[in-house]
Amino acid sequence: MSENKKRWAIVGAGNGGQAFAGYLSMLGVDIAIYDNFQTTVDALNEQGGVYLEGNGKKTGFGKILFASTDIAKVIEGAELIWVIVPSIYHKGIAEKLAPHLVDGQTIIINPTAPLGPMEFDKVLKDNGCTANITLAASCTLLFACRLQKPGTVFINGQKQNVTIAAYPSTKNAQVEALTKDYIPEFQFVQDILAVSFDNMNFEFHPGPTLLYTAMIEKGIPFEYYIDYVPSQVKLIEAIDAERMELCRVYGVNGVQNATETFRTMYGYEGDLYQMVTNADCYKGIKGPKSLKVRYLLEDVPYALRAIQTLAKIAGVKTTAIDTVVNLAYILLGDELDEGRTARNLGLSENTTVDDIIKMCRG
């Protein structure tokens, strides 16, 4: 490790993990990266780092310390550990990390689906982790990017603002001090509930995908967002209304509804249907060719199920969300994980709204 340099670890060498590895290295951080696939690890070690191309703040070559399939080796001596894998893999990663974590380390789940740190914390403890660590999570990746090949990532764009919170949020200042010089785009918010409700993938992905079922199964090509019909947006707005009610009940401040978010983020005008189907940023995004896609396999069990859990605790009716979840499990059955139920989050039938707030805010 270079003298006086930060030593951080990245878990996951997909497009996001490799983008972060190259980017942080160019910012002067010593990076080691873990992946499950030996071929990916070998390619990164042979090249010695990651090339970033495209439209990010940094382009060029970011040198890494090493890549490895040995997670203990990768995180040894790392002050900060980035977990950059889909939510369907979070439980397995927590199980692998649990025996090797030590006091003082910080883990940032980047990105998280709703209540990700709550599940991660439970799995760590269930697997014997007693280390005094700090958990945090962001709502989305910093980069919109795609992997050209192992060791080369094309950055389509870099976000200017990404919400993040520690779990509990009493540790926000601690995580901010660690990251602010490297990721100034992080906006620390009220708590992990605010982060959870800020990620609206669970509105725009599962329901509309299910309403595309006939086109998907007939093999009819389509653009995912541009080809929305008004009924799909009507379903999104029904789910959004339930999200906003949960924000109210859990005291989450400053969250905009879907239409306001779209206007703020992109500067478009019109109603939600008009904005989505005419958005330049969505043109060219093709629809899935199967129902076995992350829009359902990840966003139903790990996002909508978590929102259902919060709703049940609060006594809030979520008819639209329940309909989407039920239909997804009917069509996909055992292809879907059980997901973030109360039991899998370490909650009980006696857990209250105040309990959840205390867990998230400390």
* pLDDT one-digit tens code per residue, 42-51: 999 999 999 9
* pLDDT one-digit tens code per residue, 232-288: 999 999 999 999 999 999 999 988 999 998 887 777 889 999 999 998 878 888 999
**Mean pLDDT along residues 301-309:** 97
Mean pLDDT of the chain: 94
**Mean pLDDT along residues 5-27:** 95
* pLDDT one-digit tens code per residue, 154-179: 988 888 889 999 999 999 999 999 99
pLDDT score, position 279: 83
* pLDDT one-digit tens code per residue, 66-121: 999 999 999 999 999 999 999 999 999 999 999 999 999 999 999 999 999 999 99
Q: Are strands 134-138 and 162-167 parallel, antiparallel or unpaired?
A: antiparallel
* Domains in the chain, CATH or no CATH each: 7-197 (3.40.50.720), 200-361 (1.10.1040.10)
Its pTM stands at: 0.93
Q: What share of the chain in percent tops pLDDT 70?
A: 98
Residues 288, 278: Cα–Cα separation, whole Å: 20
